[in-house]
Chains A and B, each alone.
Chain A
Amino acid sequence: MTQIVKMKGMNKYFGKLHVLKDIDLTVEQGEVVVIIGASGSGKSTLIRCVNGLEEYESGTLEVDGQQLAPKSGNPKALAEIRKEVGMVFQQFNLFPHLTVKKNIMLAPKKVKDAPETVANATAERLLNRVGIGNQADKYPSQLSGGQQQRVAIARALAMEPRLMLFDEPTSALDPEMIGEVLDVMRELAKEGMTMMVVTHEMGFAREVADRVIYIHEGQIVEQGKPEDVFDNPQNERTQSFLSRVLAH
């Protein structure tokens, strides 16, 4: 098995705040890793380090065979990594000045020099795949939150990534729209996409994850198969977190 992400002894600070402490983590190709933890535990920061949106201070990080040095010491590796790693954000971050279809076509055209017709065909195929083929010419603001997030997923997929990062993809959605986004993610996992997902959706984690990681105050406290972590947590911090989030 190839390891797409290899973190060793990774440390990250925001000023004096030690947000990630000695993180050791590997992600295998095809694996779905769900990261859970309280707000401010460092779980978003962790996946933002994978595509270099956050720099880290010490340790090593290898993504898809590229060494990403601390303090983003090698821009070339960073550029390569970002081509291979897609990301979906909590706030969607669609480009409001472009139509849905143009949102998806932008990166293939600019980064891969894809011809207009090819980029267009890719965009249409992906929009159909996420179930909004008929909204291609609308602007993001004309879509519901759930639809916007599905466009954001399609936009990331257009670069044919080897790894997808999801940073709380349903946290900004109205409850009735969470399902449609999770459905798309479930499909993606089924098709064998390697995924790192930060989420509060415990049902999704239990059903889709190959591995669940619990982070507490910047440390990986517990990890394992979802049934083990959810039904038989070993660490008392995990137990207390789960009892709080699963109680209702």
Chain B
Amino acid sequence: MEFQFQFDWQAAIDSIPFLIKGIPYTLLISFGGLLIGFALGIFFGLLSINKKWFLRWPATAYIEIFRGTPILVQVLFIFYGLPDLIGGPIDPLTAGIAAIALNSGAYISEVVRGGVQSIDKGQTEAGLSLGLSRNQTFWSVVWPQAFRRMIPPLGNQAIVSIKDTSLFSVIGVGELVRQGQIYIANTFTAFEVYFVVAILYLAITLSLSIILRFVERRGLASV
């Protein structure tokens, strides 16, 4: 018997409407998580460069813990583990957003730290010598410059986090991969469906890359 595989274009096209239903979840978990992660990253990133050790230490601990453990373990812990602690179930969407937030927050802390530390000390001295307070100097002189340098690594993190949401199919969030698995269970067209899933991820990440390139070019023009 001769084995012949043929890519079934019709099956691929047919799966699209069902798969696309996963995109809002993928985007919601990614960007909801990243938004909180960015806030966490600013908070812990700035704490991690504070002169006082008792502020620096908790930030360093947070960063090391969430950077040093797999995000899959983190989301399983939140979804299956935490309910024991808080005495009630956590819905998969919340667990997914929380995992992306905590995980990306750790990486973004390092991005923030690096960005702020890359700004020349002379900038702070100039601000202070003009009579600006430490806070004013930081937020109107150092931060705007640091933030521009942070755009490329932040974009990188956003793309990583978008792809990380695919792992959350294990807790049953109806995101892209989960939709694919459900569809394949009925049609057995794994090759075609995962191919489409991959294309859909690529469409999201490429759009983001293009937007970021544009923002970067405009933002860096003056520095």
Interface residues of A (CB under 8 A from B): 51-53, 79, 82-83, 85-87, 89, 91, 93-97, 106-107, 110-111, 139, 141, 152, 155-156, 159, 165
Contact = CB atoms under 8 A, between A and B. Distances in A.
Contact of A141 (B126, B132, B141, B223): B223
B123 A93 contact: yes
Interface string B115-140: 00000101101111111110010001
Is the contact region of chain A dominated by helix, strand, or loop, or is it mixed? Answer: mixed
Report the interface size class on chain B. Answer: 20 to 34
Contacts of B136: 110-111
Contact of B126 (A52, A93, A139): A93
29 contacts: A51-B128, A53-B128, A82-B128, A82-B131, A87-B125, A89-B125, A89-B126, A91-B120, A93-B120, A93-B125, A95-B123, A95-B126, A95-B127, A95-B141, A95-B145, A96-B145, A96-B222, A96-B223, A97-B144, A97-B148, A106-B140, A107-B130, A111-B131, A111-B132, A139-B223, A155-B130, A156-B129, A156-B130, A159-B130
Interface of B: 120, 122-123, 125-133, 136, 140-141, 144-145, 148, 222-223
Nearest to B148: A97
B223 A87 contact: no
Given A96-B223, A97-B222, A110 B126 contact: no
Which interface residue of B123, B141, B223 has the most chain A CB atoms within 10 A?
B141
A228 to B, nearest CB: 32
Contacts of B133: 79
Contacts of B127: 95
Given A89-B122, A89-B125, A93-B125, A139 B130 contact: no
Contacts, number: 68
A243 to B, nearest CB: 33
Contact of B131 (A53, A83, A89): A83
Contacts of B126: 87, 89, 93-95, 152
Given A95-B141, A97-B148, A82 B129 contact: yes
Contact of A97 (B120, B125, B145): B145
A51 B140 CA distance: 20
Contact of A107 (B122, B123, B131): B131
A152 B140 CA distance: 17
A110 B137 CA distance: 10
A55 B126 CA distance: 16
Contacts of A94: 126
Given A96-B223, A97-B223, A51 B145 contact: no
Contacts of A110: 132, 136, 140
Contacts of B223: 96-97, 139, 141
Nearest to B136: A110
A155 B131 CA distance: 12
A159 B130 CA distance: 7
Nearest to B133: A79
Given A95-B141, A97-B144, A159 B128 contact: no
A152 B127 CA distance: 12
A12 B22 CA distance: 65
B78 to A, nearest CB: 39
A91 B148 CA distance: 22
A107 B132 contact: yes
Contacts of B144: 97
A51 B222 contact: no
Nearest to B129: A87
A116 B113 CA distance: 33
A86 B148 CA distance: 28
Contact of A159 (B122, B125, B131, B140): B131
Which interface residue of A86, A91, A107, A159 has the most chain B CB atoms within 10 A?
A107
